[in-house]
Structure 1
């Protein structure tokens, strides 16, 4: 048994191979090695995203409590954009992975172009709404007038430039589906590295650049993401990945596009359900004042720091499922999911211990206001209580998506978020006078329920027969 455990030297060698993307065949050989090779760049990619989320809120928290609350309210709306972007990206990953597993690289390239066309079209509509109605959007979310006046510029810039969010998601999903997870990783390192450098410059001002306050955070983010999108497009057109796009691919292919739309509808639906529930939860939280809202926002940003790596491992499972189903190896696909789920659950267990023990100290790194610290720490502890189930559930849900079965997670989200989480949160927080604590428990219990239902349905094996 001990001979099967790799040495530190071997692990470092595998790590180097993983981040450089030299290994791209995941339909044969060791499953554990395949999980490692795909997970490492995806975890690093998501870790970079989560580092930016924490750094961003760290800088903005130096501006004002209203600035932090503005980000919380705006991002609860931006999650609706993420719903469309992630839904389309699920379709991209599932279809590209399946074509790569079938060794149809031309079909993978054609699907890639169509999903980019779809993303640009949706982003254009959202941009118009965001540029014209930023104050109204914040008002609908329950923001007070002083917060709207201070923060509407952030909302306007972030929503106006949402095409950078959309394309960053979609093109990275294409790379992941092709097994080029390392390229997706380097793209996000570029994007978020620039964000981290530009954040303090645009928020506080530097040299000829004036201090934009909270609006500066949105400007930095849009520039960082936009630069990364240009980098992504260069990789696609110059053929530096498994997928190469040529000029003759730049035409609308109705059949390919309709297939992507069909697969993505379930993905968009499941995330619209999930993210709209976050919007309603944020609306409930706004009833308890800016300090509570700020504590909740900081806690969620901190949790993203650990959820993103776990999400990266879940994405690895989705790619393994898609490619192995394409290679007609459903049993290998299933084994990959159970192993990835176990590793993810262990990781989340370790994180939950840290949050349970050091919640207050973590929140105080960002803000020392007593109410902000109290409610932020309470949020961390309660949600961390369900982290192990959440870790396993994430992998199983993403595996359905990787198979192209986006309808099953949609129904699971509908039951757990809309039929359970929202009513429970409102009754517990408002009717039973539990306040913010009622919302926190609603989040935890809903995620545990998702894991239980997801695992039960995954065992039935119907996802193995889905065609994309």
Structure 2
């Protein structure tokens, strides 16, 4: 696998790692859209409840997803350098560190759910559904975090198909479980909005258990010995600090959607429902770019670990240009089919369909720029420059998107919020391209320059 990632055709290597990751992310989005479809049968209030709750959940999930990227980067660079022992040790320490973070987030999130929902400005009829959905989700958050770590570590090692197969199974299970728990069936009561969260917990629990069993087997590119699970606080702190910028980056991205819900909420339930439907639709195409970015992180990490910086830069350029072209074409398709795409997820609400269709047409033609920023961010993370990727995300989603949405909403109501999306997409994509051309991100190699050096860890690293 190492030779395939560090030698030979770049396009072939990108495709080999990208398509399973893209497929897995597409399947994950189908998973979420299945929830949206069945919740949509319950009416506007139910759709709005999930629209208010989901960004909060996504914000907290993003902390774990971001921290796990440290595992991806370190495993990729150590595998690229041929140091499998360090890759296994890093994996075990990453797993323990993120488990501790998850338990804290789950407990705090469950306790403060009503307060978190109150911050969104949700209308009274929406609050009960949003609270129940979010609290049930917090109960099973550990399973989502466990699967994130599993995916991240294996992707760092270049094993991308196994996570895809597991996600496929969860999609099938969720497709069957959603109507049962949301609408009720036989002895199973109708849980309503909370039923979508119950279905998610059950399917993700099965996925997490299976995934961890496979990871611990040592058959998929990472071998973790029992001694590797001896907590090394100094090392876990270093991994945490490497992953922290990515965690903040993911959190900023998610928090911006929460802030946007707050802005949209001022214009009524119909506007919130439109926003929720369209952002979920957008997530379907954005996840394709995220998949390519994850593959790019792995490829860049392996090549920098192997000392092949020139190839790492060519990989980043090829992946970003390819993604820009594909997402621009997808944006054109979304533009032409904006109304039927929106109507599929809501029944009996022509106002929501009209507003959602307008939103899609405003943003869709800038999908390519969003993809450019996402994939180049993946390249920066693969080099170990997680801080640069974080700054670009903060620029795009907070400085550009939120503040332009806030200002424009005074003049054009929710339409002003919709226009903040293309503005931030274009500016963020161009900023990422400028940083890529500058090349400062190429100066890092964690196996040589970062504090995680083998000679500094000889005492901590368990010996045979």
TM-score by length of 2: 0.93
Which residue in the other structure is 1:388 paired with? 368
| Alignment root-mean-square deviation, CA | 1.6
Match of 1:402 among 371, 382, 388: 382
In the alignment, is the contact (CA less than 8 A) between 1:92 and 1:173 conserved in 2? yes
3-state SS of 1:265 partner: helix
3-state SS of 2:186 partner: coil
| Alignment pair present for 1:327 and 2:302 | no
Match of 2:396 among 416, 440, 448: 416
**Distance between the aligned counterparts of 2:3 and 2:33, measured in 1?**
32
In the alignment, is the contact (CA less than 8 A) between 2:363 and 2:418 conserved in 1? yes
| Alignment pair present for 1:347 and 2:326 | yes
Which residue in the other structure is 1:425 paired with? 405
Which residue in the other structure is 2:443 paired with? 465
Q: CA deviation at 1:23?
A: 8.6
Matches within 5 A, 1:196-215: 196-215=175-194
**Distance between the aligned counterparts of 1:25 and 1:251, measured in 2?**
33
In the alignment, is the contact (CA less than 8 A) between 1:130 and 1:160 conserved in 2? no
Match of 2:430 among 427, 444, 452: 452
**Distance between the aligned counterparts of 1:24 and 1:176, measured in 2?**
16
Matches within 5 A, 1:184-199: 184-199=163-178
Match of 1:76 among 35, 47, 55: 55
3-state SS of 1:453 partner: helix
Q: How big is each residue's C-alpha offset from its partner over 1:117-160, in whole Å with a ceiling of 9 and x where there is no partner?
A: 12211211222223223322212211122211233211111122
3-state SS of 2:5 partner: coil
Which residue in the other structure is 1:89 paired with? 68
Structure 2 runs not aligned, ≥5 long: 447-464
3-state SS of 2:266 partner: helix
Which residue in the other structure is 1:376 paired with? 356
Matches within 5 A, 1:219-258: 219-258=198-237
Q: How big is each residue's C-alpha offset from its partner over 1:49-76, in whole Å with a ceiling of 9 and x where there is no partner?
A: 1111221101110012111111111111
In the alignment, is the contact (CA less than 8 A) between 1:24 and 1:179 conserved in 2? no
| Alignment pair present for 1:439 and 2:422 | no
**Distance between the aligned counterparts of 1:101 and 1:160, measured in 2?**
38
**Distance between the aligned counterparts of 1:127 and 1:259, measured in 2?**
23
In the alignment, is the contact (CA less than 8 A) between 1:47 and 1:305 conserved in 2? yes
Matches within 5 A, 1:300-311: 300-311=279-290
Which residue in the other structure is 1:126 paired with? 105
Q: CA deviation at 1:353?
A: 1.0
3-state SS of 2:6 partner: coil
Q: How big is each residue's C-alpha offset from its partner over 1:362-388, in whole Å with a ceiling of 9 and x where there is no partner?
A: 111111412210111122111212111
In the alignment, is the contact (CA less than 8 A) between 2:324 and 2:371 conserved in 1? yes
TM-score by length of 1: 0.92
Structure 1 runs not aligned, ≥5 long: 1-21
**Distance between the aligned counterparts of 1:350 and 1:44, measured in 2?**
18
**Distance between the aligned counterparts of 1:386 and 1:451, measured in 2?**
10
**Distance between the aligned counterparts of 2:132 and 2:254, measured in 1?**
23
